[in-house]
Structure 1
Amino acid sequence: MSRHAAPTRRACTARPSRQETEMTRRPTATLAALALAATLAGPAAAQETRSYTDALGRTVEIPVDPQRIIGLWDWDITTALIELGAPVVGSHGRVREDGSTYIRPANVILGVSFDTSDIAFTGAWQQFDFEAMAELEPDLLIARARDADLREQFEAVGPVVFVDTDGFALDSYRAIADVVGETEQFEARSARFQALLKDAAAWVGENDYTYTIIQAAGADASQVNIYADYSMKSYILERIGFTIAGEGARLRAAGEERITGSPELIPAQDADFVFGNYRIDQGAANGPRIEDARLDEMLPGYCDFLAACADGRMILVPREHAVVPSFQAWQTLTHIIVSHVAGRPGIAVPD
């Protein structure tokens, strides 16, 4: 049962796009004022602590059993905390055009957001609300290593641990679980996931399938992203027997993650299966049909240039499930892939 008072529901490296309004980072209070507020509002009872060395090489004293955690990035941190059942009291989030806020993508994958739980909104990208954080009396903050420039502001609120969220998703998730004392639960979930991948490989069979990953890029869909590594999507595909092909294979050999280029690159990305991505956190404003239309806009009739697409072997999947640290998301993605690859007898499969 979750400890953050949410309803009981289920909970490369390619990076998620940031389409919220870009704002300059503005501390909403001075460090001195924040430190005073944190001191006055600190937890009444002393907690047992332990030393932890974070991704920045800092050794920090953190609670052995934290009870009031703030996740300083919804996608990479808070969603994992929620799935682990950690006591999250605040989180970074996203702001819709109508001003409402949500925790991406925990709102659609785990059914948990600001309006369905007691988790408080503590600011959006580049606009953290440090006063709101201090008012929550946190005993632990967890931040991305890429936000190290805000270390002093975070430290003025409470103990902060920085986690590397730019590497392999399983490693990032494991680090988050370690910080909050949930390593045993993480390993149990990981073992079930690995067992599923073993089954999935048997369901797909030994076919030596190749794959590529493409995605329309830019608000005007004028370019295409070609990936050598799309986080857990690539991991799952390769664990069940797929091999990267096309420009992705060249990028992989060169140690690169992706390339953004002209739509004329699309025909050369044919493979046994071609994968694309779409967002699921924007309702009707996005989705597989929208992504298909964006690709067709940049290269009219693009599907005719890809045998995989023409034969029904192009598969668009939710990008959230491929990147977010969530075993529930990864298990769902595995079943989606297996269903499309091995579960459609009428689809022509390459020899």
Structure 2
Amino acid sequence: MSRKMRVTLALSIIALFGTLLMACGNDKDNNAVSSASAPAADPTPTTTASASASETAEAPASERKMTDYMGHEVEIPVSPQRVIFVGETFSDLFVLDVKAVGTSTSMAADTVYEDRIAGIEDVGFPINLEKTTSLKPDLIIIADTDEKAYEQLTKIAPTIMFDTFAPLEDRLLLLGDILGKKPQAEQWLADYTKQEEQLWTDLRAAGLKPGETASVFTYYPGDRLFVMARTGLSQVLYSPNGLKPTDRIQQVLDANSGFEQISTELLPEYAGDRIFILNPYAELTDAVQSTEELLQSRIWLDLPAVKAGNVYRLDIKSSGSDALSRQWLLEELPKLMAK
């Protein structure tokens, strides 16, 4: 895999642009499927126990029915043992003490948890069907709304389309339920909530005022400026005790969107009291150049947050929505905002 492709894939796992901006699968390869997921309608997933006809009244059910967020009714194992998970929130599995047998390892490139995927088989990107079959999964979880990809994977093992854009608490509790790890999910979330509350207590003691607003911006190749809403760092900042979105960003949140492309002329309407800039990958030279040009522009220099020195820069690779990245951000934010 070329460095350019690896960077493109790594960007996708952060879910800042969703996998709408990821490369499409190669239709000429019958052993691969595309992985182009995007936020979609969100029917509430449900699970119900389901025993086979051969099970006695005394025997516990080995399978149960679940309806995923795209409306597929799936028979899944009660206690899956060989899980393949392909999505930008892969580290959610680590906090549930689940080690997947396979994933798209390129999606973990340059993340805070990259070193933890050693020993997990790479199913490729696009997903290689032959490799997936060889791992003998009993459950496949994908951040993908491509029905063609879904149908191909269901021939290998029960497959769930999973909403990786969902809020951390909703997402982790559902994943814990699916994997038979709900107590672990509840405990981790309780610990995370305490860390989160302590973060905002410390920041307010350091001078953060109630009601302050925040914005997160980043550039993508093609001189495209995006404001983040329902993804990554924004999810941390807009927690109940945290910073507030501006009115224009609230509109994006109300539309259930992860992000929105804006023109630089509209920047003042989206800019908050505190601004966070996500640094593009160095290899994306046009995005890097666009970022630096913006930071020297008159429209940028005139923003109140810039004049007040309330601007913070963070590498985009560290701004994921996954559990371990979220935990890392809680530790990093006080250091970042103290600069």
TM-score w.r.t. the length of structure 2 is 0.73
* One-letter code aligned to 2:243: F
Partner SS state of residue 171, structure 1: helix
> What residue in structure 2 maps to residue 67 of structure 1?
81
Structure 1 unaligned residues grouped into runs of 5+: 1-12, 31-46, 94-101, 345-351
Correspondence 1:215 to 2:212? no
The 2-side partners of 1:117 and 1:111 are apart by 8
CA distance in 2, matches of 1:273, 1:88: 38
Q: CA contact under 8 A between 1:278 and 1:316: conserved in structure 2?
A: yes
- C-alpha separation between the residues in 1 aligned to 2:251 and 2:177? 36
Contact 1:173 1:325 in 2 (8 A): no
Is the CA contact (8 Å cut-off) linking 2:95 and 2:188 kept in structure 1? Answer: no
Shift of 1:296: 3.0
Q: Post-superposition shift, 1:62?
A: 2.4
Measure how far apart 1:333 and its partner are.
Answer: 1.0
Give yes or no for contact 1:69–1:89 (8 Å, CA) kept in 2: yes
Partner-residue secondary structure (3-state), 1:108: coil
Residue identity in the other structure for 1:336: E
Task: Give the counterpart of 1:88 among 88, 100, 104.
Answer: 100
1:244 corresponds to: 245
1:183 alignment counterpart = 182
In 2: Cα distance, 1:129 partner to 1:256 partner: 30
The match for 2:40 is none
Residue of structure 1 equivalent to 2:198 = 199
Structure 1 residues 182-191 or 232-241, which shifts more?
232-241
How far apart in 1 are the matches of 2:238 and 2:313?
Answer: 14
Q: Which amino acid aligns with 1:315?
A: Y
Within the alignment, does 1:306 sit opposite 2:303 as a pair?
yes
Q: Distance in 2 between matches of 1:162 and 1:253?
A: 23
What residue number does 1:6 align with?
A: none
Are 2:199 and 2:334, in contact at CA under 8 Å, matched by a contact in 1?
Answer: yes
- Cα distance in 2, alignment partners of residues 21 and 253 from structure 1: 28
Q: Distance in 2 between matches of 1:187 and 1:26?
A: 44
- Tell me which residue corresponds to 1:142: 141
Question: Which residue of 46, 64, 71 corresponds with 1:51?
Answer: 64
Q: How far, CA to CA, are the matches of 1:80 and 1:163 in structure 2?
A: 12
Counterpart check, 1:104 vs 2:117: no
Please state if 1:117 is matched with 2:141. Answer: no
Task: Please tell me the residue identity of whatever aligns with 1:54.
Answer: T
Q: Which moved more, 1:128-137 or 1:223-232?
A: 223-232
Q: Percent identity?
A: 18
- Confirm or deny: 8 A CA contact 1:214 1:224 kept in the other structure: yes
Q: Deviation at 1:293? A: 4.3
Q: Is the 8 Å Cα contact of residues 90 and 136 (structure 1) preserved in structure 2? A: yes
Classify the secondary structure of the residue corresponding to 2:119.
Answer: coil
Structure 1 residues 300 and 121: alpha-carbon distance in aligned structure 2, compared to 1, 3 A threshold: same
- 1:260 alignment counterpart: 261
Tell me the equivalent position of 1:294.
290
**CA separation in 2, counterparts of 1:216 and 1:195?**
33
Task: Tell me by how many angstroms 1:137 deviates.
Answer: 1.4
Counterpart position of 2:226: 225
Alpha carbons of structure 1 residues 87 and 17: separation in structure 2 relative to 1, 3 Å: closer
**CA distance 1:232–1:312, change in 2 (3 Å):** closer
| Gap regions ≥5 residues in structure 2 | 1-14, 33-59
Deviation at 1:189, TM superposition (A): 0.8
Contact kept? 1:251, 1:258, Cα under 8 Å: yes
Alpha-carbon shift at residue 29 of structure 1 (Å): 5.2
Are 2:144 and 2:161, in contact at CA under 8 Å, matched by a contact in 1?
A: yes
SS state at 1:312 partner: coil
**Quick check: 2:230–2:253 contact (8 Å CA) kept in 1?**
yes
- One-letter identity of the residue aligned with 1:161: I
Q: 1:334 aligns with which of 311, 314, 330?
A: 330
For residues 232 and 182 of structure 1, what CA distance do their matches in structure 2 show? 26
Range with greater deviation from structure 2 (167-176 or 135-144): 167-176
Q: Deviations over 1:180-227 (max 9, x none)?
A: 11111111110011111211221122612121222223x132x32124
Aligned residues: 293
Return the letter of the residue paired with 1:294.
S
Q: Please tell me the residue identity of whatever aligns with 1:92.
A: S
The worse-fitting range, judged by mean Cα deviation, of 298-307 and 177-186 is: 298-307
Q: CA RMSD in A?
A: 3.4
Q: Distance in 1 between matches of 2:258 and 2:31?
A: 39
| Cα contact 1:142–1:161 (8 A) shared by 2 | yes
User: Structure 1 length normalisation: TM-score?
Assistant: 0.70
